[in-house]
Structure 1
Amino acid sequence: MLIFPLMNDTSRKIIHIDMDAFFAAVEIRDNPKLKGKPVIIGRDPRQTGGRGVVSTCSYEARAFGVHSAMSSKEAYQRCPQAVFISGNYEKYLAVGQEVRAIFKRYTDIIEPMSIDEAYLDVTENKLGISSAIKIARLIQEDIWRELQLTASAGVSYNKFLAKMASDFQKPHGLTVILPEEAQDFLKDMDIAKFHGVGKKTVEKLHEMGIYTGGDLLEIPEITLIDRFGRLGFDLYRKVRGIHNSPVKTNRIRKSIGKEKTYSKLLTQEEDIKKELTLLAGKVALSLQKYEKSGRIIILKIRYADFSTLTKRKSLEGPTQDADEITKIASQLYDSLPSNNQGIRLLGVTVSGL
């Protein structure tokens, strides 16, 4: 495999803006009685027979270990005093568009990652301001003054570092990573906090004795590529502060899906339906986050013998509703011929976005 030379483009000025606990913050803003309370955006499990998934939650709820994509049932067990709100995604979308309108005052080079976060390239900007730090502060001030919401900002010379920086001091933080500071910033960082590194990759890295950015710096490039392929190529560069991908204004998603592999085979219909509900809930959250809806529901199943099948159904109109996705996924499962060997993987995808 060819090993490419390290070239680091430090000429750009990139800001990553991430709204703080966005859906929950909008609800608290609109109902001041909720201020200071643990607020969870998700259906109350006491009213759904335990079904539902947490969309997001306030920082007060996070103190109890509640987080997005957790089942509402577990969230209630951890924080029974929480206020559950089903959510109003049309309202959140409208507020998200107001936030984006603020971004556009400064630059048109915007890459939305979801309804509540985006990358901005302000190297050349509409106001002719040379300092990206000043622009980030102005955006935070505009969002607070006009919308009474807070956002965290990361400023650096590439998207990876800007994202890492915005996560560093939440809520309402502003973190700057200069080119000469990048490796020191990443050296002591927990590898699990590296953007783009998932749980399974973290487990493999831990098996290699890699727990921090500093540990990762010690691993030869060819070793990382052999073990992780393209991801290894990227990790070798990212830990050195290298990520030359530009801010893209035309990202197009064709489908959104979630799947899970089970170390213990699923054999009971009750367990299978429970997992389908969780997967459908996570897909719905992603659809809402990315401001998408879709017309095609796809179920994927891999059995114990590794045989895999997919089945799909087209809807009359697009959806991003968790209950509807769950219902269709369950119907697709029920339509399959009986198979008693156990399931090792389930997946739910919505396409036709």
Structure 2
Amino acid sequence: MPISELISFRQNLHQHPEIAGEESATSEKILAFFAKLNPDHIIQNLGGNGLAFVFKGKKNGTRSLFRAELDALPIQETGDPEYKSRTPDKAHLCGHDGHMTIICGLGEKLAVQRPESGEVVLLFQPAEETGEGARWILDDPKFQQIKPDFAFALHNLPGFPLHQVVTRKGTFAAGSTGLTISLTGKTSHAAHPDAGINPAQAIAQLIQTLPKLTDKLSSFALVTVIHAEIGSLAFGTSAGKGSLSLTIRAFDQAELEILIEMITEQAKRIASAEKLDCEFSFVESFAVSKNNPKAAEIAEGVMKEQELDVLEKPEPFRWSEDFGLFSQSCPSYLFGLGAGEDCPQLHEPTYDFPDELIDTGVSIFEGIVRKVNG
């Protein structure tokens, strides 16, 4: 397929976005695209709406996996491309439409020339934005059929020169989780607060103390207070319930888990001292994205051979990527592809994936395939 047809395919995906867990029509489009490529094996309904296409070599060897994301964001697009989202309050404002198209382009290359050895798996993952999809994929028994020796993925990066490759040894992006701490005491009349148990003092203490727990860790970590709620707007009532929501992030997976444990223990202590019941609810949990040295050597060797502009970033990114869970389970490599210094940032309502990156992404991934699988 000429690059112009891949661009049209990307723009069609852009017009019809589906958010996390709802990607059935997107999956159908991908399935139809691959029907003419005759992969050796197709797995449907993988971890929900996920898909995997397997291209086999003539002899045994390494199994390499390349991942793209199916889901869009629940945001209204305010940019005005000709192919603007036709679905209100949903749009591909993270570039997953472009990432899918790159993996489709890689599929075309594999259809023309199968790998010499092993297997190449092209994976389309649901629910990346919510941090759920990778877990759904890994927990699906069907995943054992395609469990890889190496996994690779890319993400476009606004703010970096177009086509520049952004790499990093070790941690590429932070792990993170959302946490809501719910406190329950006893409601009373505002004239007699002593007759009740108000969580206000405990929440004030938590806001003061929890962000400082990162001082006890050896590498970067951050606790951000994002929401607090106490009682209701009833001036005659002393609150009996409250909650505090945080985003917790770290560059090291072990330290992320230690930090979460410190936060929950501190919350339990403060709640107990104030005679409050305490419950925890975790959402949008992302593992640290850690680049494997051997996978990095393979990918960065290809980038050097292709004479690409490569930037090695001194610090990991503070945002999180659901690919991190793959990197915690097998040797993996995640890299960035510059989307232009003037490109709107990811998740901004005017963002749009630059179609010029499709060819670059396909070329890098095909280079990795030929290096690993021949």
TM-score interval, smaller chain: under 0.3
Q: Which has the higher helix share?
A: 1
Q: Which has the higher strand share?
A: 2
The higher relative CO (CA closer than 8 Å, separation ≥ 6) is in 2
**TM-score, length of structure 2 as denominator length:** 0.23
